[in-house]
Structure 1
Amino acid sequence: MRVKKAVITAAGRAQRNLPMQTLFDQQGAERSVLSLVVREALSAGIDDICVVVWPGDEEPYAKLLSDDAARLTFVRQTEAQGYAHAIWCARGFVQDEPFLHFVGDHIYVSPESGGCARHLVETAVAEDCAISGVQITHESLLPRYGTVGGQQVPGKPGLYRVDKVLEKPTPTQAEQYLIVPGLRSAQYLCFYGMHVLTPAVFDILSVMLADTRDGRVSLSSALAVLAQREQYLALIQRGRRFDVGVKYGLFTAQLALALSGEDREEVLTELIKVLALREALSEHGANV
């Protein structure tokens, strides 16, 4: 297997403005969220990148990426039929090749050199199969993520053979179907927002989209079918994901980038000053 292409979905109605938000990266350079996602793909050795967009967003997104050394293709999602449909829209770009996939509103900060995507792609190539990044997640967060169940691959810690996938399961469903040997109670393997997928996923999505009345299916449902057809693995990622679309998501992503970058000491100093001032004001108020 060789992974030479990447697909980023950024067409969701509630998602379209998020890739345009700006942050400072680890080197202190101001970049858009979309640029940071593209650079994650570049770090994995992939520069042929498709961005799935809502019609009319091609030009502003292209401007955001003008400084990134990537070959860009923009594909339109002309109907608001959800996330899985957005991936399906990129089938002409992908053709019959495996591809790296990201969501356009997640930022990844990894302690490993080369980044999270590089580790995922290298593992997919070594195992010659589809693979999803996952993170150990408490059951209280299950309503946010697709979740997998499976068995650890012998002799390969952190790598699991997937046999079950559910979209945003309840704790009861997870306890019944998604228990993973070796994890603590109430902990599960949830999607990290990063996958290496084979083109077989497009055939599965085509059937599902044709069979649904409202045109909406979940990627988790398609991956559940994929797991029954071919080898499909999950890899625990050591880095952290930050969904910039949730409350304080952009702030926590920026804080993580800063604390893992060149300006770490300066940022820590400023944080200490803010906390010290808050404590001083609290004590002053208590003495009044």
Structure 2
Amino acid sequence: MSIKPLRKAVLPVAGLGTRFLPATKAIPKEMLPVVDRPLIQYAIDEARAAGIEQFCMVTGRGKTALIDHFDIAFELEATLHERGKDETLGMLRSEAMEPGSIVTVRQQVPLGLGHAIWCARAFIGDDPFAIILPDDLVLSDTPCLTQLAEAYRQTGGNVVAVEEVPMEQVHRYGVLKTGETQGNLVEVLGLVEKPKREVAPSNLSIIGRYVLLPEVIAHLARMERGAGNEVQLTDAMAKMIGHAPFFGLKFEGRRFDCGDKIGYLEAQIAFGLSRPDLSPEIRKFLKAYTNA
């Protein structure tokens, strides 16, 4: 079986970020920093580590800062050079994107994640592609998308990152009906979007990392409404089960829901503690606060 290389990623970033108002009144929620890097930077870096070379951001009004972040800031670089801040300048240049590697499309109306992915259909074409939701931040030794990319190369099919959640939270996720388990891969027999606890087929839930075959676009194009009267990606993925391999990957690492205030604050602490240059001082002030 010939498996096409995974080179494309779609990043749905059209959301308004209302849960973080007023912080997101004038800046995209994906520009909120965790330690010293915005969420969108973590997402792009994770994708690049997995071998992704082409990126499509599905944006909305007021999201131009996301594109500006990855542009070359000539004035800033000149100032850093003049002031001898070579280390900082080198860091910025090392993260520069290849010209033409990022494109954007607009999702003019908020019709759900499935609709956002459909908006990127011309970019996706006939190729497999990754989806990264920047709100989900994963701290792991091996980047989460790298783990999914390896699973895709093994199976040649659709792979979604999954984790167990408390049953009282399954109504917030796409949930798997599971089959056989092969190591950290779980066969997907069915998918249900935001099920009630009493009818959920399991508590194994999809997080914001996917590797999908392009056939999903044909199902999304029908614009069938699901949970919340939105075009649900989960419903379109469910239609591919039985036609191509489909697995859930129990990824290594810790996920933080940065679309939630507590999850975002926890990510700040966890990612700060993972930094050797910051960890000692963070531990000191945490001890001071927790002993108060």
Query: What's the TM-score once normalised by structure 2's chain length?
Result: 0.81
Say which SS state the counterpart of residue 6 (structure 2) adopts: coil
Deviations 1:34-57 (A, max 9, x none): 111111111112131111100452
Given that 1:34 and 1:64 are in contact with CA atoms closer than 8 Å, whether structure 2 keeps it comes out as no
- TM-superposed deviation, 1:4: 0.3
Q: 1:138, CA displacement in angstroms?
A: 1.6
Structure 1 partner of 2:193: 167
Q: Is 1:251 aligned to residue 265 of structure 2? A: yes
Partner Cα distance (1:191, 1:215) in 2: 20
Q: Distance in 2 between matches of 1:132 and 1:105?
A: 16
Residue in structure 2 matched with residue 62 of structure 1 by the alignment: 67
**Residue 109 of structure 1 pairs with residue 114 of structure 2:** no
Identify the residue that residue 39 of structure 2 maps to in structure 1: 33
Listed as ranges, the gaps of 5+ residues in structure 2 are 19-23, 72-91
Equivalent in the alignment of 2:6: 3
Superposition deviation, residue 125 in structure 1:
1.1
Deviation at 1:7, TM superposition (A): 0.5
- Match of 1:151, SS state, is strand
Alignment partner of 1:199 is 2:214: yes
Question: SS of 1:248's equivalent?
Answer: helix
Q: Which amino acid aligns with 1:64?
A: H
The letter for the 1-side match of 2:10 is V
CA contact (8 A) 1:152 1:158 kept: no
* Distance (Å, rounded) in 1 between the aligned partners of 2:265 and 2:225: 38
What letter corresponds to residue 195 of structure 2 in structure 1?
P
Give matches, 1:1-288, under 5 Å. Answer: 1=3, 2-14=5-17, 17-24=28-35, 30-57=36-63, 59-66=64-71, 67=92, 68-70=95-97, 71-110=101-140, 112-113=141-142, 115-153=143-181, 156-174=182-200, 178-179=201-202, 188-207=203-222, 209=223, 211-212=224-225, 216-262=230-276, 263-276=278-291, 278=292
Does the 8 Å CA contact 2:155/2:245 hold for their aligned counterparts? no
SS in 1 for 2:165: strand
Does the 8 Å contact 2:6/2:129 carry over to 1? yes
Preserved contact between residue 12 and residue 82 of structure 1 (Cα < 8 Å): no
CA contact (8 A) 1:12 1:83 kept: no
Look up the SS of the partner of 1:69 in the other structure.
coil
- CA offsets, 1:121-173, max 9 Å, x none? 111111111100001222122122111111234xx312111011011112211
Q: Report how far residue 81 of structure 1 moved.
A: 1.3
Taking structure 1 as reference, are residues 215 and 79 closer, same or farther at Cα in structure 2, changes over 3 Å only?
Answer: farther
Taking only the aligned residue pairs, the percentage that are identical comes to 29
For these two proteins, the number of residue pairs brought into alignment is 254
